[in-house]
Amino acid sequence: MHIKKIDIEGFKSYGNKVTVNDFDPGFNAITGLNGSGKSNILDSICFVLGIQNLAQVRATNMNELVYKNGQAGINKATVTITFDNSDARTGPVGYENSREIVVMRQLIVNSGKSKYTINNVACSNIRVQDLFKSIQLNVNNPHFLIMQGRITKVLNMKPMEILSMVEEAVGTRMYEEKKGIALKNLEKKESKLREINTMLDEHICPQLEKLKADKQDYANYTRMKREHEQLSKLYTAWDYARTEELVHESGKETAAMHKKMEDMEKDIKDTKLEIEAAEKRISEIEKQMDSIFYVNCTDLNKQAKLKLTIEEEQECGSKLQEIESELKAKQVIETKEDTKLQNLKDTLKELKKKLEECLKSYKEEKVSLAQKEKETANSIKKLESLKAASDKDSEAITAAENHFHAVNAGLADTDGQEASVAAQLIAAGKDKKDAETEEKSLEMSMKHLKAELAKKAIENKREDTSYTQDQALYQKLFNEVQKLKNEMSKLSFKEDTFENMLSQERELTREINKYQRELDSITSGRLNFSYADPVPRFDRSKVIGPLALHMQLKDPKESLALDKVARGTLFNIIVEDEITSQLLLDKGQLKTRTTFLPLNKMRSHVIDDRTVQAAEQIVGRGNVALALHRITYDKKLTAAMQYAFGHTLICPTIDQAGEVCFNHLIKKETVSLDGSIFSPQGTLTGGSIQAGDTVLEKLIPCPKLKEALECKQNQLSQLQKDISNMKIVKQRYDSLHEDWELKENEAQLLKSKIEQSTYHKQLQEFKDMQQSYEDHKTQLADCKEKQKSAAKLIKELENKSSKSTRESKVKEAEKAVAECKKKATLSLDKYNNFLAEVEGMKMEIEGIKEGLPEYEKQIAANEKAIEDCETKLREAAEKHNAIKEEVAQLTDELKKQKAILKCHSSDINKIGKQKEAMAKKVADAELQKQQLEHDIKNSGDNSTEASKKLKYLLEKNKWIEGQKKYFGVKNSEFDFEKFKPKETSSMLKRLEDNIEKLEKNVNTRAQNMLSTVEEQYVNLIEKKQLVLKDKKMIEKVIRELDQQKNNALVSACEKVNKDFSSIFTTLLPGTKAQLVAPPGKSVIEGLEFKIAFGDVWKESLNELSGGQRSLVALSLILSLLLFNPAPIYILDEVDAALDLSHTQNIGTMLKNHFTKSQFIIVSLKDGMFNNANVLFRTKFNDGMSSVERHAQDQNRRR
């Protein structure tokens, strides 16, 4: 494609229309005097090509492109270029059938806008630029345009600047631009990442931790406040009831004590009289006694007189004293044991009571939690509806106020905008007039389009057979593609789902292998039983395996004892029958010596239950058990387990094990937990091995591992079935997908061919014009509607302008505002009040949830304490019974001794003792009397204090008067049956201290603030992940761009270097030229010139003359143009610094190297334009430029 003709009118110095005809397809030159308009022809070409940088056409604004800035009666500049497109191969895409392409650009002064047409069809600037870009004529990056001064600029370039020229010509600048954009984006991502990390580290995370702590503190605070209030009320009620009862009982006790005092005084008086009588009797007897004692000994049937010496009587009394001393000591021990036993019973009772209370409280809290959560959920729904209502009322206020302001100022709303009535009238009038103008313009356009459509319709009647066939084939292919897509969609196959299933299979296999390795490591060695099938089709299910692997311990602490019980039997192999065991022994290729346990032949002696019960009576229940009862196993393996564990008892300690084993009622082998084995024959073996060294200890994790392994194997089995089914579907899907891709590609190629055809473009152009015509019709109807609306609005506005109407509307609007505000205030108050209730409910729920784990801990602790207490109680009861028997024996002995001594007692001793007893009685009574007097005084004081306390409690707690009737009522709020005053008092004190500490720092808004901060934290983490992902993608893009650029640049340098040397040799025969990398660097780090005359290479360009250096620069520029040839090249006085011989060589070079491009050169030298095929001379007459064409004489040029 080349320029054929240029029409210039009103552009720069070309005031009148000037036509520059018959451009040569090859070499054209333009010459003329300075200021005659030579370069303006080049500027006009750039103008049509869509130039945006006005400096390239020597202008500062658009008006300067119009003749005399539009001040000479010419107000527009029009340039039309006719291109010859007879060679469609070099033409733009879409214009292969157009032999000529006419592009026009028109600029109207002061508008700043340009009108473009292509082949008389209006189009946009972008479309024109795209047309020329497709044939390497990008005027905004003009490699095809070599202006004055560019030669000098190239000569002064540094290595990196020369490399930049090559990059621009090759197009790698695009890579750099994309890389620059990517780097900027990368920096933004880095900055964003730093910002997110800073926000997380310095603000969000610390704030999150603090708010979590604040939330916990607030929950604890509310819970403790609630508990304190409940406990305080219960404690006050109990205190009041206790004090009231104390006042009532105090009166009764005082009266009883006064009566007791009177009785006591009478008893003292009587006793003193008896003492006097006893003293008289003793005096009388002493006169009658001699050295021998006579005592009356009374038997059941007779009386006899015995005579004892003083020594015999003393010996009898000494023995009695010994028995009494021993009895007292045993009675003290019995009392202590009895007290201890009673204390343990009381403690057990209290623990059970406490556990019951904890369980009850726990259940009540759970019920309360469920109820409150349900109430809160309902409340939240109601809160949301209240919020929506409040927001709606707020919006209504805004709308009402806007309406009030508008009406009050004489305004009315039109499309959301306020305008005065007068302004609206003017606007409506203008809209009507604009609509009328637009209507006329549309009618004219429609008339023109209708004529064009008629022409196109005639052209389109000549149907293209090939196009019709292609269309039919494309429709067929399209239907086949759709059919394949439908079949694929019916299969419901998704590649990502299938990949996920395969990934799950790999993960499950990995987990199964992991569990299997753990099991193998535990069961390795003697527990790893392997064998070969002794006969074909051998039923391996009959071989059950090592005994140790088919049992589980009830208590891991018993592993050592059970290991000692079973001994080597743990490694014996359980089989179903003796035939299986014989086959394995004979032909199973066993690697080690093996003992088999055939279930059908196993016979064992198991210790009976009576023996176990007898052992329990000896050492206590829970201190002895049959080894068989301390394991779990499959019932079908009972025979084997009885054989291994049915013959031995287990006790916790060595002492208990020995006591059981050697008891004549038991006489069975017994093992202690530390591994000591007691034999009835009197031997003791084993003991003192760590449990971790036993087989059974190592096997403890096996059941869980087996369960997990079986679960994973089941999952894998099911997944493999699903994968197998999915593979069948995938095969069908892949087959369909392959067919679909082939058909889709075939359809796309055919579609592209159809769209590139001339007939399709004609049809498309016809459809576009039809659509444009329909759009114009729609716009025309809209214009008419606008006119009607504007006329109607004008009439309404004229009616609205009256004063009375305005005042009425102002009042209505003001009233509407007041009603909306009132309604909104009520809605907001209602919302805020309910919001506070909901927040309180949420806090209560949190408090209850946090308290539940504490209850669970208390329940577990109480259960453990009860178990320990029951154990201690059993031990104390056994000890108490033994002491009690000893006391009974000593009591019997004491009675015998007293009976003997009684026979030897004298009347004096008897009376003396009676006297001492009476004297002691009097002393005790006197002491009791004093104590009673003191008690009577204290009782009176206590009664007075209690009455004062009752009065104080009533004054401080007004609620007591109304609720005291429920004090002590069972199952009521004030049930004192389970109340513990001391514990409650201590708990209240702790709660008060904790509440006082928390009140100073508690944050009541922590819950809401925490939700907001947590949401911010999640959002930031998501953003951070997204930024990191984007950053990795950008870094990858940068690496790819660098690699692509370097590859393209190295390849381009080779081609440019070849053309550079060839062009320079043509311009300056006998020389050579190269572009080489600077010393120690590569071509991607810079390029510099290297020139040789003959075989002598110059060190630098400074050794060349000015003209020679200009030729070097020109050669480089032209070699870069050859890399990506354009159909047209424009050179503006590039020969200014050259002498005549060099100028002539330029013409020769252009003909040799640019055979398929059109050159338009502006020059003042004969050596240049005499080589041109066509010469245009410009003149400047009467203030305007003109052009003359001269065809050059071929002979003269030679």
pLDDT score of 695 more than 80: yes
SS3 778: helix
Mean pLDDT of 158-169: 81
Query: What residues have CB less than 8 Å from 665, skipping those under 6 apart?
Result: 611, 614, 618
Q: Are the C-beta atoms of 550 and 544 separated by less than 8 Å?
A: yes
| 901: confidence class by pLDDT, cuts 50, 70, 90 | low
Q: Which residues pair with 116 in a beta bridge?
A: 105, 123
Mean pLDDT of 1032-1044: 79
Mean pLDDT of 382-410: 79
Cα(115)–Cα(690) distance, rounded to whole angstroms?
A: 101
Least confident range from 311-325, 476-490, 621-635, 883-897: namely: 311-325
Model confidence over 434-447: pLDDT tens digits?
A: 888 888 878 887 88
Per-residue tokens: 1156:
């398929």
| DSSP code string of 780-848 | HHHHHHHHHHHHHHHHHHHHHT-HHHHHHHHHHHHHHHHHHHHHHHHHHHHHHHHHHHHHHHHHHHHHH
Query: What residues have CB less than 8 Å from 842, skipping those under 6 apart?
Result: 376, 1007
Cα(90)–Cα(1125) distance, rounded to whole angstroms?
A: 11
| 883: confidence class by pLDDT, cuts 50, 70, 90 | confident
| 286: confidence class by pLDDT, cuts 50, 70, 90 | low
- Give the Å distances, CA to CA, from 1156 to 308, 1057, 1128, 1169: 168, 21, 9, 19
Mean pLDDT of 1066-1072: 85
Per-residue tokens: 721:
């079935």
What sign for the dihedral angle of Cα 734, 736, 738, 740?
A: negative
What percentage of the chain has pLDDT greater than the value 70?
Answer: 89
Mean of the per-residue pLDDT values for the chain? 80
Query: What residues have CB less than 8 Å from 139, skipping those under 6 apart?
Result: 46, 49, 50, 51, 56, 129, 132, 145
- pLDDT number for residue 292: 34
What percentage of the chain has pLDDT greater than the value 90?
Answer: 12
Cα(900)–Cα(299) distance, rounded to whole angstroms?
A: 11
Q: How far from chain centre, in Å, is Cα 842?
A: 24
- pLDDT number for residue 900: 55
Least confident range from 66-80, 113-127, 357-371, 928-942: namely: 928-942
Query: Which is more confidently placed, 912 or 746?
Result: 746
Q: Which residues pair with 233 in a beta bridge?
A: none
What sign for the dihedral angle of Cα 107, 108, 112, 117?
A: negative
Per-residue tokens: 1186:
């003109």
Q: Which residues pair with 95 in a beta bridge?
A: none
Per-residue tokens: 136:
């390497």
Mean pLDDT of 1054-1058: 86
- pLDDT number for residue 383: 81
SS3 112: coil
- pLDDT number for residue 10: 93
Amino acid identity of residue 17, one-letter, is K
Q: Are the C-beta atoms of 673 and 650 separated by less than 8 Å?
A: yes
| 672: confidence class by pLDDT, cuts 50, 70, 90 | very high
| 678: confidence class by pLDDT, cuts 50, 70, 90 | very high
Query: What residues have CB less than 8 Å from 1188, skipping those under 6 apart?
Result: 1176, 1177, 1178, 1179
pLDDT score of 735 more than 60: yes
- pLDDT number for residue 295: 40
Per-residue tokens: 470:
């292609």
Query: Which is more confidently placed, 1007 or 1058?
Result: 1058
Mean pLDDT of 783-788: 87
pLDDT score of 462 more than 70: no
Q: Which residues pair with 419 in a beta bridge?
A: 412
- Give the Å distances, CA to CA, from 443 to 172, 435, 517, 769, 775: 50, 12, 88, 15, 12
Q: Are the C-beta atoms of 421 and 412 separated by less than 8 Å?
A: yes
| 642: confidence class by pLDDT, cuts 50, 70, 90 | very high
* Beta strand segments in 408-460, E: 411-414, 417-420
Among 40-49, 493-502, 847-856, name the most confident range. Answer: 40-49
Model confidence over 226-264: pLDDT tens digits?
A: 877 777 777 787 777 777 777 777 777 777 777 777 787
Cα(921)–Cα(913) distance, rounded to whole angstroms?
A: 12
- Angle (CA) 105 109 114, round 5°: 30
Per-residue tokens: 987:
């708990």
- pLDDT number for residue 315: 55
Least confident range from 498-502, 719-723, 1020-1024: namely: 1020-1024
Q: Are the C-beta atoms of 839 and 1007 separated by less than 8 Å?
A: yes
H or E stretch including 959? helix 959-963
Per-residue tokens: 429:
């009038």
Query: Which is more confidently placed, 610 or 990?
Result: 610
Model confidence over 833-846: pLDDT tens digits?
A: 788 788 777 877 88
Query: What residues have CB less than 8 Å from 928, skipping those under 6 apart?
Result: 264
Cα(896)–Cα(320) distance, rounded to whole angstroms?
A: 9
Query: Which is more confidently placed, 1101 or 940?
Result: 1101
CB atoms within 10 A of CB 693: 11
Cα(1188)–Cα(41) distance, rounded to whole angstroms?
A: 13
